[in-house]
Amino acid sequence: MKNKILVTGGAGYIGSHTCIALHQAGYDIVVYDNLSNSSREAVNRVSSLIGQPIEFIEGDIRDAESLRQVFAEHQFFGVIHFAGLKAVGESVAQPLKYYDNNVSGTITLLEVMAEYDVKNLVFSSSATVYGDPERLPIDENSPRSCTNPYGQSKLTVEHILEDLAVSDESWNLIPLRYFNPVGAHPSGQIGEDPNDIPNNLMPYISQVAVGKLEKLSIFGNDYSTVDGTGVRDFIHVTDLAQGHVAALSYLEQQAVPVGFLPINLGTGKGTSVLELVTAFSEVSGEDIPYQFADRRAGDIASCYASADKAKDLLKWQAELSITEMCQDTWRWQSMNPNGYNAT
Ligand code: NAD
Ligand code: UDP
């Protein structure tokens, strides 16, 4: 058995897929999640997929006492920290909730990690920290800026991690800046399960395809892109999960601390909204009715990663195509039209 890892937010979309990848790579895992945006059923399904129960603790990262109990009971090599709120619109309406959960929660987690001398952290950051990029593809040295409280909470945590690394050289802090995670586990058992009407493109498309939503609105067809619609770097969630395994493995191999080491997780390729709609329609055999609508406030035209740093340092690169992203999303959506809620 390899090292033991605490996975905060491990019941969520990316966390649940990463738990499977960690288990397959031989890690022992403990999931810590308050289920504020996920369900116990996701953890049960991960347990079935890996063929053994997952150690699950229902708890909040802002609860230092609860975290202390977990750290006292287990000897962790490190923490993969997914726990956080992620809805941009909600963050604009309720900024304090976002700063409290995402920033204060992370500070509490870091304090408890320090108490127990656990100094390895992989943090879920986002390409949103790059704001409107000056150049493409976006590399890790690009300037950072954010316009909404969700993005600010990610950027603030990054600044905190940078300061922490300066203050104490024994920390190893890797913010992984995800581009646009989509897709689902190939079994169709786990996937993205938005609470309300999805804000993100791929779950919206798949709910139109399955007949839950009537029509997709494409926000803007006048960007200077290949077809006027927005361009993003969609990355399959199982590739993303492998990126976390690669980051941990990298930390295990280092003789000296790495300090603060941000790394993009993307494919390096841009796909337009219309291209994704067409690919999904072909894969599913379903019509995806759409209409063009105004640009969405705060959106940028194009965003795709330079994936070189992950390849050089982590020996990781995304493998799965847009077709596979659509196939796996469609399998999950059609097998679970109501997500984790029983039909
Ligand atoms: P998710 O909402 O499915 O998962 C987050 C999990 O964290 C949920 O299970 C939720 O219950 C839990 N959680 C939230 N606040 C908590 C708290 N205070 N204490 C304990 N658990 C808490 O989201 P996801 O898509 O899996 O995203 C995981 C992480 O990656 C988040 O931090 C998110 O901001 C970040 N991220 C996501 C995307 C994306 O498009 N999905 C892109 C970039 C970054
Ligand atoms: N988008 C869209 N209709 C939707 C949701 C998203 O046209 O219902 C577009 C959005 O304008 C952007 C792209 O799809 O160009 C990706 O949006 P998403 O919210 O999935 O991710 P973002 O990159 O904004 O975080």
Q: What domains can be seen in the chain, in order of their start residue?
A: 4-185+234-266+306-318 (3.40.50.720)
The residue from 27, 32, 130, 150 that is catalytic is 150
Amino acid identity, residue 23? H
Please state the atom number of ligand 2 nearest to the C-alpha of residue 204.
Answer: 8
Average pLDDT score over residue span 23-29:
97
Q: Report the 10 Å Cβ neighbour count for 82.
A: 26
The CA 201 to ligand 2 mean position distance, Å, reads 5
Q: Report the 10 Å Cβ neighbour count for 109.
A: 24
Say what the pLDDT of residue 341 is.
84
Q: Report the 10 Å Cβ neighbour count for 287.
A: 9
Question: Does 89 have pLDDT greater than 60?
Answer: yes
Condensed to tens digits (0 to 9), the pLDDT of residues 315-332 reads 999 999 999 999 999 999
How far apart are alpha carbons 178 and 129 in whole angstroms? Answer: 10
Residue 292 in contact with ligand 2 by CB distance below 6 A: no
The ligand with the least distance to the CA atom of 88 is 2
Angle at 175 (CA atoms; ends 249, 94), nearest 5 degrees: 140
Condensed to tens digits (0 to 9), the pLDDT of residues 192-247 reads 999 889 999 999 999 999 999 999 999 999 999 999 999 999 999 999 999 999 99
User: Quick check: is 150 catalytic?
Assistant: yes
| Residues listed for the chain | 343
The CA 240 to ligand 2 mean position distance, Å, reads 19
> Which pair of tokens denotes residue 141?
């040295």
Contact in structure between 52 and 28 (CB atoms under 8 Å): no
Residue 295 in 3-state DSSP? coil
How far apart are alpha carbons 147 and 70 in whole angstroms? Answer: 36
Say what the pLDDT of residue 147 is.
86
Contact in structure between 157 and 121 (CB atoms under 8 Å): no
Question: Does 343 have pLDDT greater than 80?
Answer: no
Condensed to tens digits (0 to 9), the pLDDT of residues 121-155 reads 999 999 999 999 999 999 999 999 998 999 999 99
Sorted by sequence, the CB contacts under 8 Å of residue 285 that are 6+ apart come out as none
